[in-house]
Amino acid sequence: MSWIASGLRWVFDFIVGFSNSYGIAIILVTILIKLVLLPLTVRQAKSMQVTKEIQPKLTELQKKYKDNPQELQSRTLKLYQEYKYNPLGGCLPLLIQLPILWAFFQVLRELPQSEAAQFFLWNLTQPVNQQLGEVTVLSLISVVTLPLLSMLTQFISIRQTSVDPSQQGMMMFMPVLIGFLSFTMPAGLVLYWIVQNLFSIAQQAWIGKRFPTAPQGGQVK
């Protein structure tokens, strides 16, 4: 993963060189990564859309044949074939994306302290909870804004991609956890998380309109 991190570091430093801002560099590199990974994301999203469509039918089969595992398996495979659906279809794109995202995460964790680290109200190299200083309205806003945005954008992103009603608990737990962790992470990492969530939300909305699932046969248009 080191060569991926080195490449991302070069791009990051190049943007900082002409913008003198870690914040602008984080935003631009995050968007660049998301654009490069867009074909994989579209493939993953198509698989998730089909998953949403067949989930009610799978639940119905599980109830109907709960005492007949062999028939349940047979009917499930038939349903998958009808919809041209591969249960692992959404996993491979995600596995390919993870090393790139993790490499950039490493780059952000190693940012040196400099004037470029100041982005609006935040020092992007310092944990959010260490930036309160003198208690004023402005300082309170600076501390709570990023965690709240990370929590809100994570909630919307999870809700967009949720395919199973049983995930409702996770939908509430994960944003709260992300919001809590955001108080202890460097502000640059929180900014990265917010930007990638915002891009994912817009991307998922576009994919939903551009590649709707067909009402018959489960094929994606």
Per-residue pLDDT tens over the stretch 28-48: 999 998 898 888 877 777 777
pLDDT tens, residue by residue, 185-212: 889 989 999 999 999 899 888 877 876 6
Q: Quick one: pLDDT at residue 212?
A: 64
Over residues 89-102, the mean pLDDT reads 72
Q: How far apart are CA 134 and CA 142, in angstroms?
A: 12
81: amino acid identity, one letter: Q
pLDDT tens, residue by residue, 108-157: 888 888 889 989 888 898 888 777 665 566 667 778 889 999 999 999 98
Q: Compute the mean pLDDT over every residue in the chain, rounded to the nearest whole number.
A: 81
181: amino acid identity, one letter: L
Residue with tokens 């909305």: 205
DSSP symbols for 79-111:
HHHHTT--TTTTHHHHHHHHHHHHHHHHHHHTP
Q: Are 111 and 117 in contact (CB under 8 A)?
A: yes
Q: Quick one: pLDDT at residue 164?
A: 60
